[in-house]
A and B are shown apart, each in its own frame.
Chain A
């Protein structure tokens, strides 16, 4: 059967067809849909791990125990998983093990851009790079065969365009992979120094074998055109190259990219006068080719940018100095359309008040709440990586206390981020005693990445009920003595809780508990939160003085009618959270009906 599929869907399909039985992931654009799709196959046990390190370790465990497994994550997730990544390569698999890394050239939804092919090289994993959805499926299936025959974990490097583009895929059948026998084998699985030294030597031998495989891999192939201009490309860049250089050029399409095929590249280059190396981000292939001492002219990162996407327009412009004719219009007429908190977002009330306090440092984190960094809230002073807000806040508070500046730090992160790596940071704050105010924005879901369950929601990746981990109990167990659970939509409660806790010289935690407005509410949610988004608010025209104060809540359900000079609430969008009602000093906003 033929079907249009995204790369993510095709990866999941490939894993299914390859007989995978265990998959673990932590959400992150553009990788999230892989596990979401895997969860649709009943033959595969799937789990959202609290973070990527745990996800990879869970997949490693399943592979050691004899079951084919997969871990998937976004590029920065591999940083979190880097510890097991390196040593796991020493050990080799039992059943096949594949790690999907989804890189983000162009940073559509990420805090940085990094080329995770460097990880395959540094940690000595086999690596593949698909160019379209069909290759995603085919490569994943081949990856499991390779993993088992060469006793190596395999990394598949995707990029946003491969993950989120659809193309036509021919589907196959699932082939069960019978579980492999597990035997005690410390010489393979216990990386003590004495054992690791042996495995280290073996790892180099394996890389030699994989080098030989790379030369004959069906995923590495030369396509000869008519002239002496060649292109070496991996991933989506192969298609970008075809778009620009057409059928006349010759191509060396590299799909198995660690280790790279030395002889194949030498042979290709020897037939060309000029070779363009098309790859996004780092000169990973280029540096390898240059070290081979080929005689043709190499065009790489001296011409193409090492950042952003290498889309056809970029290649066309840099390689040929050409561009399509475009309409030159008045750009000053454009208005920005940045994302904003949804109507009824539980982060709104908290950040509306927090942003009013100009004398504090707000140590931020990554989630929907990072939108508070922008207007109208401007309520975030640092954002680095997941879980960092509590620990960076702690360090900053220690420094402020030492210098006697008197500045206070409030650190904020979401529920999923708390479970991810925020727990360790809070332990540090308690253990090393700083007096930061730590806010856990418990909106009962992982919002930013599209509403995945997490250890605090009471449901697993398949939507089945499971043990719910209570954040409040956890925080208490860590040793925090001042814990407040508040409703973030109640502005007064937000304010006085902040006042109270900022006066302490001990660590404290505020848990803001109200569900994300876009969450699919569970029965437990309905029981806990009464009248969940069940009402609408309206502006009483006769009372509204047109001061626009309420608009500073940045709610998309509100606007200003420039003719009547009154605020307006759009009934189709308002969910009655009452934040604007509390801001209005003229009591002009009331419940509808």
Chain B
């Protein structure tokens, strides 16, 4: 069976690196893997998404609405925006972070206060994680993406893959330990 994971966030949050490590791990573990990215104007604060699909043989790199086994949102509003990708009974992980958009900054729109409530109203399997806070505790807020990668590894049962080796190939030695710890923390956060 082909599995589908959708990673969504805002430009600059590190979704691309997280999905790169994820897909490399899946390939090394012997899966067929496809990933599709839409990052049109990501550097300028737009929404970004990475669609990852793996299994024995993967056809489409694109995930259909209502077909994601897991959605990992690096930001709350992006979680809501992608809710219709989640399949019935799928797992949703939301980073408890709020990034205002341009329309909010210039006062055109207000960021609704009850985003998480709206999500919980519809999804049973939702885990809110303070990934940025955890990463900060480890010494670098930027590692929030690895905390969120950790949640995927646990939720999708991918612990047997040699993540440390893959991290070594993709991350500067200086940040290696930080990232390893961040992944562990993420795994722990969804285990509870």
Contact = CB atoms under 8 A, between A and B. Distances in A.
Interface of A: 2, 4, 29, 108-109, 132, 161, 164-168, 236, 239-240, 242-243, 309, 311-313, 316, 323-330, 333-342, 368, 371, 375-376, 450, 518, 548, 551-552, 554-556, 558-560
Which are the 4 A-B pairs with shortest beta-carbon distances?
A324-B66, A339-B41, A339-B44, A165-B61
7 contacts: A165-B37, A313-B64, A329-B122, A548-B107, A551-B106, A552-B106, A554-B106
Interface in B61-89: 61-62, 64-67, 77-78, 80-81, 83-88
Contact of B61 (A167, A327, A548): A167
Nearest to B84: A326
B173 interface: no
Interface residues of B, number: 60
Nearest to B112: A333
A452 to B, nearest CB: 14
Contacts of A375: 102-103, 106, 108
Interface of B: 10-11, 23-24, 27, 32-47, 58-62, 64-67, 77-78, 80-81, 83-88, 100-112, 114-115, 118-119, 121-123
A132 B58 CA distance: 11
A3 to B, nearest CB: 8
Contacts of B66: 323-327
A111 B84 CA distance: 28
Contacts, number: 167
A167 B111 CA distance: 37
A334 B118 CA distance: 11
A324 to B, nearest CB: 3
Given A326-B84, A329-B84, A556-B102, A335 B109 contact: yes
Contact of B33 (A4, A109, A164, A313): A4
- In this complex, the member of A327, A333, A338, A340 whose beta carbon has the largest number of chain B beta carbons within 10 angstroms is A327
A559 B99 CA distance: 11
A240 B39 CA distance: 21
B40 A340 contact: no
Given A167-B33, A335-B104, A324 B44 contact: no
Contacts of A560: 105, 107
Contacts of B24: 4
A4 B27 CA distance: 8
B46 A334 contact: no
A369 to B, nearest CB: 12
A161 B58 CA distance: 15
B10 A337 contact: yes
